[in-house]
Amino acid sequence: MNSTLTNTQESHRNDLQHFIGKNQMSAITEAMKGEERDFFTDKILDIYDLIKNMPKTYEQDGILDPLVSLHYLLGDMDFYITEKDIDSDGEGQIQAFGYSDIGYGPEIGYISIKEIIENGVELDLYFTPCKVSGIPKLAELSNKV
C-alpha cells in the first residue's frame, strides 16, 4: 500500500467527521501513512462500519441491557453512546443517546457528539462494543432506570 489515502478511505474519513474530532482525525490520517498504516486503516474501516450499523435513536428503547457502541473520553470524563441520531435532515450527527460521566457519576440522556468533540473529547479507538452491564460504573445506574 502506498502512503496516499484511497478514495474509499478518504470517503470514510469524511463520513466520520461528525464522530471524530479534527485533531484526532488528523492524527489518525497521519498514522495511516506511517509504519502502522495497516492497523489504523483497518481501525478506521471498523469504526466506519460500527457507526454505520449502530442502533439509531429509539431502536433500543425498552431494552434493559442495551448495547454500548462508542466510548469517548477526556481525563476523568466518559461518554458511552448507545444510539445515534437518525439524521433525517442530512445536517450531520446532531446528538446521540447514552451515558455521560463528567466526574460526578454517570447519567443517562442525550449527548451532543458535536459539542464534546469540539471540546477535545476523543473517540476511544480501543473500545469494544458491549452491553451496559459490561461496564461496571454503568451497570448500577442501568439497574435503577
- The mean pLDDT of 70-91, rounded to a whole number, is 88
Percent of the chain past pLDDT 70, that is, above it, reads 81
pLDDT in tens, 25-35: 999 989 999 99
Residue 143 has a pLDDT of 60
Sorted by sequence, the CB contacts under 8 Å of residue 116 that are 6+ apart come out as: 72, 74, 79
Residue 87 pLDDT > 50: yes
Taken as a whole, the chain contains a residue count of 145
User: Higher model confidence: residue 72 or residue 29?
Assistant: 72
Higher pLDDT, 108 or 137: 108
Cβ atoms of residues 103 and 76 within 8 Å: yes
Report pLDDT digits (tens) over 95-129. Answer: 899 999 998 888 999 999 999 999 999 999 999 99
